[in-house]
């Protein structure tokens, strides 16, 4: 317990600041969730998401609350990165910056043990704070979409639930590693932010590719509520599938998509005018489709992404260990 107490004291201001921020955010989310639930409970005959006759006031109130709630999802999306970096970067960087590693690394016979010990409290704080946000964001989402079965629904994917925790752990790992390499607090915080952006950019790209490889190709117009949409594709008459960008790269400069999702190109040498119907003047070249992961695969996809993120976090932790083991203490 003494080690936990000392670790907490070494980062107490960050922990207090982040805990207060998360408490405020979670409190606000719960309050809005209770408001949404009250709107639904007080008007059992109304669908609050539709302006049906006699339910206009309910729908208006629900709409107002929804606007605020959507802003919260931006904060819950950003929270893992902020919390992970704020706790991760100073862990080694501040010690090197202030020279305290000279004492710590000679008192401790193993720097790896020292790092592992120092990681325990920040890791638990990241897990605890983001778990709180994960739960409250689930409650808020459930309040906003009362008809949805959120355990099998991609609505607000990555902005609620356990993925917040996994992302926070990766950001923590990035922060620790960058801080250990640079050994200066402020530069490490800036560099950590950039590296986190690059890491998550790469991870998102990779996960999208993986999901696309397993996605269903559904004709345009099909109800995909709750599914994970991975973008649109055009399926040409010969069965070839491509993105709109790829189509343009192949020289199809102008095209139009009809209401039913059919894709037309204008007659050779001309372009579609604003008001004309593409079905009447254009040539049908294919059908627009959407790539989706069906809603029922939500638990599996979340578990898979969390496992990948967990693995990446472990890699950053190991990298931090290598750097700490080899580097100078000042």
Partner 1 sequence: MSDIEVVLTTRDLAKRYRRGVWALAGIDLDIPAGGITALVGPNAAGKSTLIKTWVGFERPTRGSVSVKGIDPWRDRSGALAHLGYVPQSPALYDGLSVSDHLDLAVQLRPGFDRASASERLDQLGIPLDAGARHLSGGQQAQVALALALGTRASILLLDEPLASLDPLARREFLHVLTDAVRTDGATALLSSHIVTDVEQACDRLIVLGVGRVLLQETVVDALASHRIGPAEEASGEVVSTFLGPAGERLALERSTQDDRLRPATLEEVVLGYLASARPVPGRERAA
Q: What is the contact surface with partner 1 in residues (CB under 8 A)?
A: 2-3, 6, 9-10, 12, 98-100, 102-111, 114, 117, 328-329
Distance (Å, whole) CA 132 – CA 120: 18
Distance (Å, whole) CA 53 – CA 124: 50
- CB closer to partner 1, 99 vs 219: 99
- CB closer to partner 1, 269 vs 328: 328
Are the C-beta atoms of 301 and 211 separated by less than 8 Å?
A: yes
* Token pair in block for residue 74: 């931006």
Q: How far is the CB of 21 from partner 1 (least distance, A)?
A: 20
Q: How far is the CB of 22 from partner 1 (least distance, A)?
A: 22
Are the C-beta atoms of 245 and 267 separated by less than 8 Å?
A: no
Q: How far is the CB of 14 from partner 1 (least distance, A)?
A: 11
- CB closer to partner 1, 2 vs 53: 2
Q: How far is the CB of 230 from partner 1 (least distance, A)?
A: 47
Coil, strand, or helix at residue 83?
helix
Q: How far is the CB of 319 from partner 1 (least distance, A)?
A: 19
- CB closer to partner 1, 32 vs 114: 114
* Token pair in block for residue 176: 């620790």
Are the C-beta atoms of 232 and 253 separated by less than 8 Å?
A: no
Are the C-beta atoms of 226 and 155 separated by less than 8 Å?
A: yes
CA distances for 50 relative to 47, 53, 58, 65, 142, angstroms: 6, 9, 9, 14, 17
* Token pair in block for residue 87: 């706790």
Q: How far is the CB of 101 from partner 1 (least distance, A)?
A: 8
Residue 196 is inside which H or E element, if any? Answer: helix 185-214
Length of the chain, in residues = 330
- CB closer to partner 1, 50 vs 103: 103
User: What's the half-sphere exposure (Cβ side, CA atoms, 13 Å) at 94?
Assistant: 12
CB atoms within 10 A of CB 267: 10
- CB closer to partner 1, 15 vs 215: 15
Q: How far is the CB of 97 from partner 1 (least distance, A)?
A: 10
- CB closer to partner 1, 105 vs 154: 105
Distance (Å, whole) CA 186 – CA 203: 25
Q: How far is the CB of 187 from partner 1 (least distance, A)?
A: 18
Distance (Å, whole) CA 230 – CA 217: 10
- CB closer to partner 1, 35 vs 102: 102
């Amino acid at each position: 317990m003494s080690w936990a107490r000392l670790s907490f004291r070494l980062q107490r201001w960050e922990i207090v600041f982040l805990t207060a921020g998360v408490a405020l955010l979670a409190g606000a989310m719960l309050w809005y969730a209770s408001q949404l639930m009250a709107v639904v409970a007080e008007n059992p005959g109304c669908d609050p998401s539709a302006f049906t006759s006699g339910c206009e006031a309910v729908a208006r109130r629900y709409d107002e609350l929804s606007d605020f709630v959507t802003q919260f999802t931006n904060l819950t999306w950003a929270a893992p990165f902020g919390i992970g970096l704020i706790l991760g970067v100073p862990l080694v960087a501040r010690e090197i910056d202030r020279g305290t590693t000279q004492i710590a690394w000679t008192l401790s016979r193993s720097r790896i043990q020292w790092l592992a010990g120092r990681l325990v409290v920040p890791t638990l704080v990241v897990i605890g704070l983001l778990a709180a946000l994960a739960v409250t964001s689930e409650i808020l989402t459930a309040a906003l979409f009362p008809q949805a079965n959120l355990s099998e629904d991609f609505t607000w994917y990555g902005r609620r639930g356990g993925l917040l925790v996994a992302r926070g752990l990766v950001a923590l790992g990035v922060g620790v590693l960058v801080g250990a390499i640079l050994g200066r607090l402020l530069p490490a915080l800036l560099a950590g932010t950039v590296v986190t952006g690059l890491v998550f950019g790469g991870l998102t790209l990779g996960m999208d590719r993986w999901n696309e490889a397993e996605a269903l190709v559904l004709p345009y117009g099909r109800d995909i509520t709750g599914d994970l949409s991975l973008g649109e594709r055009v399926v040409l008459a010969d069965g070839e599938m491509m993105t709109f960008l790829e189509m343009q790269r192949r020289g199809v400069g102008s095209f139009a998509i009809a209401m039913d999702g059919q894709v037309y190109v204008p007659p050779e040498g001309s372009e579609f005018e604003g008001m004309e119907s593409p079905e009447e003047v254009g040539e049908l070249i294919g059908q627009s489709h959407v790539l989706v992961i069906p809603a029922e695969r939500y638990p599996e996809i979340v578990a898979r992404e969390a496992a990948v993120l967990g693995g990446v976090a472990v890699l950053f932790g190991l990298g931090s260990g290598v750097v700490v083991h080899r580097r100078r203490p000042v």
